[in-house]
A and B are shown apart, each in its own frame.
Chain A
C-alpha cells in the first residue's frame, strides 16, 4: 500500500520556501464550514489521502487543478476551532501551518474558509490564523444561502477590518472561485507590498477575547445573520418530538435497511455472478494451465470477492450521505444517544453500528463522523460482531443441512428461523459485551463527552453525494483491494502447490491436517480446517472451499454439499461452525479498513486475535454442550 504508511508519503516535493513565491497553499476552516467541498472544487478531485505520521488525522493534498494552477499544492487541514493545540486535530493544524510537520511543506499562503451563515462565531478562528502573518484570503462560504435568507455583510469593511482580501463564495455551486485564482496570481508575484494599515487582533490564547473581538468585527462590518433557523426549528419540532421523533427515527432506519437488503443484496449477488461469469469466459479463452488458474482462480476471484461488496457499500454510503448532508444524521445521533450511552458509546455510533449489519467495511468507514477518538475506536472494535451479509451463505448452508424445518410458532416462525435469529442475537450480545469490556478499559479514562452540533436542514446536492461516493468507493477498493490481492495470491500458492494434487494434499491441505487436533474438540475435521483457513479472505469463501473439498457436482452443489456435510459432521460440529463464524473476524477487507482508519496494524491484530479466541471458545462450548445435552 503506497499511501497509508506510518510515515506519510506524499508526492509533494518539499521545496525551499522562497519569500513572496507561492508553492503551497493551506486550506483552513472550522468543522462544517464546507471546507471539504471547496477542496474538491479547487483540486478537481485529484488528491492524495494519507495520514499524518503517527496520528489518525487524515491528510488531504492535491494540486490546484480545479482553477488551472497545477503548479500549486493545496493542503486541506483538519477542521478546527482554534490554534491552541487543544486536540490532536488542532495540534496537526498548528504544526502544518508553522512548517513543523515532517513530510509536509510549509504553506506560503492560506485560504481561510468560514461559513457565512454563522460568521459571527466562525470569525473567532480568524484571529489566530491572521496572527500567523501569512498571505491570507478569507472566503465566506455559502454566501448565496446567507443572502437568500436575508443575511448580509459588508465585505469591503471586513477586508479593511482584517487587513486581508475577502470574497463571497459558494463552494457547493462553484461560485466566486475566481477570487482564489486572482489572489494566488497576485500573491505569486515575487514582490508584494505588506498590507498597510493597522489591524487590531485580540489577546492570543484566550477564547473569551476572541469572541469579543469576533462580535466587534461582525457588528462593525454590519453582519446580519440570516433568519433561517425558524423552519429548521419547526422541522425539529416534529423530528425531535417526544413521541413522533423516535417513531420517525425507527421508520427511517427500517427503510434504509429494507432498501440495502432488498436492492443491495441482489445487486451484489448479480454483480458477483457477472464478475465470475466474465472470469470463466476469459478462462475458457485462455485454455487451462497454471497461468490460467493463477489469473482466474487466484487474481480474478480475489478481486471479484472484493468487488461484490461494492454495490452494497455504495448504496449504504448513499443513504448515510443523504442523512448527513440533510442534517438528519445529527438528529438521529441525538435520539440514539441515550441508548448508546448505556453501553459506553454515544449517539453518533448508532448509524455505523447499524450499517455493520450489511457490511462492517462501510460501517467502519462511517465512524469518521464520531469526533471522540476513544468512542470511535470502540465502535470500530465492536462493529464486526454485527451479523453482516457475508455470514449468511454459511449460516444458510449449515441450517439447511442440519436443522429440520419444524414449525415453532405457526408456519411463519420455524426452528430454522429461530436458529438464524439466535445467531443474529449472538453477534449483538457479543458486541454489547465487548462494548462493556471497552467501557471499563480504553473508554474508562474520560467519561467521553458528547458535543453535538445540530446543523440547519438543507437539501443534499447530487454533486456532493457523488463526490462522497467516488471518494468512499476509491478508498475501499484501494485499501481492501491491495490487501485482498496479496492474501489471495498467498492462498492460491498454498492451494496449488505441489502441482497436480487434490486440494487435500496441497500445502494448505497439509496445514488443514496439521491443525485438525486443535479443532477436533470443536467437532471440526480437516476439511473444515481448510475452509477456516481460506475464509480468512472473506467469510463466504468457505462455502466454495467446502464444495471443492467434498467434490460436489457443481450442478447439484447445494444439495450435494448438504448431504455430504450431514454425512461428515455431527450436529454439534455444524452448530459450532456457525457460532465460530458469528464471532471470528474472517474478513481481510475489514482488517485492511481497520488498519487504514486506525493508522496502525495494532488494532486489527488485536481485534483478529480477540474475536478468534472468542470464536474458538464459543464453538468449543457449543459442540460440547450439544454432545452432552442433545440426543
Chain B
C-alpha cells in the first residue's frame, strides 16, 4: 500500500472517529439534561 493511500485511510478514519466522539458527546449531553 502506497503512502498516499495510507494517509487517506488514516485521515478518513480520524474524521469518522471525531464524528463518533461528537455523537457520544451529544448523547451524554441529552442524558445529563434528563438526569439533572
**Do A and B interact with each other, yes or no?**
no
Give the B-binding residues of A (Cβ under 8 A): none
